[in-house]
Structure 1
Amino acid sequence: MLVEAAAGGGVVVDGLAGVWPPRGAVAVDVDGVRDRLAGAGCVLGPVFSGLRAVWRDGGDLLAEVCLPEEAWGDAAGFGLHPALLDGVVQPLSVLLPGGTGFGEGAGFGEGVRVPAVWGGVSLHRAGVTGVRVRVSAVGRGGGREAVSVVVGDEAGVPVASVDRLELRPVDMGQLRAVSVSAGRRGSLYAVQWAEVGPVPVCGQAWAWHEDVGESGGGPVPGVVVLRCPDAGAGGGGGGGVGEVVGGVLGVVQGWLGLERFAGSRLVVVTRGAVVAGQEDGPVDVVGAAVWGLVRSAQAEHPDRFVLLDLDTDTDT
């Protein structure tokens, strides 16, 4: 609930302004919250350890969350800093409004809850480094606990609000198993290159793009090859990247816009733009940028473009 402040005429959040915490609020052991999360496998880094205090105020939960000082400079880059948002929902992982202890009445055993469905989310102010939070129960939906959340700054001025946040129990044993498995591989996502051997191209008519031209007439072979300058040829640095990528973009747009190219493929050739093995040298920044551009074009226009990257010591 938003109310007019008695002094100054500004809008403040009822229950977050004035005396903090409100009289009669009962403190909850913050270390107990962290221990419960850690025991379930939720290990928090330093920037996500900003939960300073938790209270129960009647049937509501209150919390105070602050960014560590080393993260203050990043706050202006976000509507609401991710670490602050994480701190807002941390108590809800193991506590619910209306209860008296950890997980009481939730029936989730030793698991925790995670935010599952967000509804009516509003951002009222950006760039804050510390917030006060009030969480109220709004019932259950589809077997999930649901709460409303209001967030204000240290003066109670509105920062954010969530009309309905549904929480879902999660089996942390499953998450730990995934985490361990990912750790063995080094990452959940990785590029793996597979050797496919020689690719037969006999019988394929082809030409260089500069020989075909965009404005000329006559037949166009099934394969047209565009050679891209690498960092050495382009001069490296931001200017080289911008010049080369801009040139390739123009070619791609022309290739898609002219009917005479509709039955052909454009093979875009780079050199050293991809690291496929430990023996490869540094990535060519110009070629890597070209790959990003052309891969986007491939996603929008399948079978119209091919990316070919050569070794830096191959003269093909």
Structure 2
Amino acid sequence: YAGTGAQRVPLPTYAFQHEWFWLAPGVRPADATASGLGRVDHPVLTAVARIGDRDEWLLTGRLSIDAQPWTRDHIVFGMVLVPGAALVEMALTAGREAGCPVLDELVIESPLLLDEDATVQVQVTVGAAGEDGRREVAVFTRPERVDDDEPGEATCHGRGWLAPEGEPVTAPPGQWPPAGAEPIDVDELYRRVNKHAHLTDAGFDYGPAFRAVRSAWQVGDDVCTELELPDVAGSAQGFGVHPALLDSALHGGLGMLYRPGSEGGLPFSWSGVRLERTGSTRLRVRVGLADETALRLEISGEDGTPLARVARMDVRPVEQAQLEAARRSGRRSLHQIDWVDVPAGTPTSARVAVLGELSVPGDRYADLAGLEQAVADGAAVPEVVVTAVETAAEAGDPAERARATALSALTLVQRWLDSESLGEARLMVVTRNAVAVRDEAPELAQAPVWGLVHSAQTEHPGRFTLIDYDGGGVPDWGALLDLEEPQVAVREGRLLAPRLGRAVVGEPPTVDTGGAVLVTGGTGGLGALFARHLVERHGVKRLVLVSRRGPAAAGVGELVADLEARGAEVRVAACDVADRHRLTALFESLEGPLSGVVHAA
């Protein structure tokens, strides 16, 4: 444009802030009608069917971290937990399809956990209308089948009732924020939540997609907040209300709900949920206590128009063991990455250039620019260029160091790919403790470098090699330079490369051997088998064997003698476990803790 009078101008930004120009993988089937289903305009639930001639409905879809990346920002004890707000939103969607738009009640039965590379099928069932017009609703998932594998077992995550009518959404206050409102700093609001809910200690983590509160005020005993759906949460199109936004609507009240000394918890049941308008991305919320363990919410749009209400949202304590048990019960991947020993390469005769201070044999240059200049001046083009991406030292905050180090690696990769003079060479990038090979934790600032270069390897085969070492001595660079492995980890002098291996399908259960284990039906054939198994395989020392006949059952003497010979202390009791009062009396008679129950009756 020289000589034309053209000038550079800033690109318009606002129009592009809320538009996405790439496809989300696996969001919806190409055409649900081709399978005889009706379409649903929803990011998760994409098809609907009325069951035969019955007044019952089924909505189906798929859910994964890739398809719904906002789920990655709701972490509990290190696991991606789909928030209860998402189950509520799907139940409301199903209710609109079936003509019952009010969620009278939804009780969370089981946590919905997502693994990084897994997809689950989602089913929302809506039953026939009763005399009062209400319909039963339930939300299920099932692991998606792989090839010809047997379908996984379905899990019910939430069950409740839809209603055709409910209490109307109340009009918002005429003034916003209400008269007498005292501003609350948003960071202080989240500090309250963290303090009273013990979120940091308990392993809860709200990522950017779930931090939608922009302003907050204290109004008497209530809290008013203004919310805006973060860009990282994606589009609200198709949702009745985006789950990240609905979950964030609770945040103003969590600090007053979780009092000091309480156990905190997660949303457990939702009652009286009504949504008047869909697709909003900016909300006004007034939240207060329904009682000591429950919140109530009044929600309006940014213009003050009534939008939604939640009559009651109860919380219950959650333990890490509960989520881990739910995770183990779900289907696991059949394969995993194993790091295996690989033989060292032969000493190379290739021309090697070394950038920086690495103690690698070869021609040395200060940086990539220096190497390019040398080649321009007539030096031979190297076949292998070795460099390290050092952790940025100037930033004190770990997150800032990680960002600065990743930016340095990105600049290096881009510069390398842009270099015409070095287009036939291979760049060996050296990191330190950037990847977990065994049980170690990766170094925070170096891990992004490994991931970034790994991505570049897939886009530009043959142009990059990744070497990660543990800092335990200087690697044998001569053995590394000629390896044909794209990624290698050096651990205590051993060369390890990643391979796809068969995953361990399940982990054996652990039993607390400090307490007693009760076996119902314990004097029968199956109960006796389990009793011996508990003593032999799990080291259980105290057994309580229960059956209707108890000590009078056939073969009890021989069974007890056998178990005592194996080192166990055995008590046999007569009790019908279907009789609540007798079973309670049995529990109260136990000496010491009860570690487990095997129900074999």
- TM-score by length of structure 1 reads 0.48
Structure with a larger share of its residues in helix: 1
Which structure has the larger Rg? 2
